[in-house]
Structure 1
Amino acid sequence: MAGEPQADCLFCKIVAGEVPADVVHETETTVAFRDINPQAPTHVLVIPRAHYPDAASLAAAEPGTAADLLAAAGRVAEQEKVTGVGYRIVLNTGSGAGQTVFHAHAHVLAGRGLEWPPG
């Protein structure tokens, strides 16, 4: 059922405390932790506590939590002191876009050249 923890989901296990993570920020609806394979000097993942497979399904079912996710990403950027130099918030949706964990999440990236378009 959407929103319910999934037994085979790595991020649900992090939310439950079953898998360790370097948590840097938490709210009632979100958890933020450092990526174990960082693609930039600052690379933090922000996830909703509720399980949705991608950002679109999260926004459709729980728009308030989707807004919380973006607000938490902004707070992470402030904590990481990257708001002055710039940062990127990335939400990949689907394997073709590079999503590898199918629990909605945002990447907060900063600290290296983030050219556009990416790739």
Structure 2
Amino acid sequence: MSSDTIFTKIINKEIPADIIYEDDQALAFKDINPQAPFHCLIIPKKPIATINDITVEDKSLIGHLYIVAAQLAKEHGFDEQGYRVVMNCNSNGGQTVYHIHLHMLAGKAMGWPPYTEKLKN
């Protein structure tokens, strides 16, 4: 899988995005197809294709993504109400861009389970 994804192009400012956070390790921007009143993606600047590709050396970076999520929740007033943070892995997990990213969803009550089709025993 190529590390040259749409997210790489956003990091490199080759294509526009509604960026709401950036530092030397991470970038967050609003999702173009929001699934909640507030929906952003938090991505590492280091290209890591899937959760399966995260290494021990990446643990600080992955923790940083969650720190950014908590900071954004507080800044946007969702920290007390609650919010959901999800990372998908590969096709059955719903991953469509092979550069890991957190989906942060807020602004409404989230249901559980997210999968609503009845499962067979």
Using structure 1 for the length normalisation, give the TM-score.
0.89
Match of 1:100 in 2: 96
Residue from 52, 59, 64 that aligns with 1:63: 59
Provide structure 1 residue ranges, at least 5 long, that are not aligned to the other structure: none
Match of 2:13 in 1: 17
Checking the alignment, whether the CA contact within 8 Å between 1:43 and 1:110 is kept in structure 2 is yes
The 3-state SS of whatever aligns with 2:113 is: coil
1:55 maps to amino acid:
I
2:106 maps to amino acid:
A
The ranges of structure 1 where at least 4 consecutive aligned residues each deviate by more than 4 angstroms after the TM superposition are: none
Identity of aligned residues (%): 38
1:115 maps to amino acid:
G
Separation (CA, whole Å) in 1 of partners of 2:37 and 2:55: 29
Residue from 45, 69, 75 that aligns with 2:71: 75
Q: Quick check: 1:40 aligned with 2:23?
A: no
Question: Cα RMSD between the aligned structures?
Answer: 1.7
State the shift of 1:111 in Å: 1.2
Larger Rg computed on CA atoms: 2
The 3-state SS of whatever aligns with 1:89 is: strand
**Deviation string, structure 1 residues 87-118 (Cα, Å, up to 9, x no partner):** 00001011101111110000110112211111
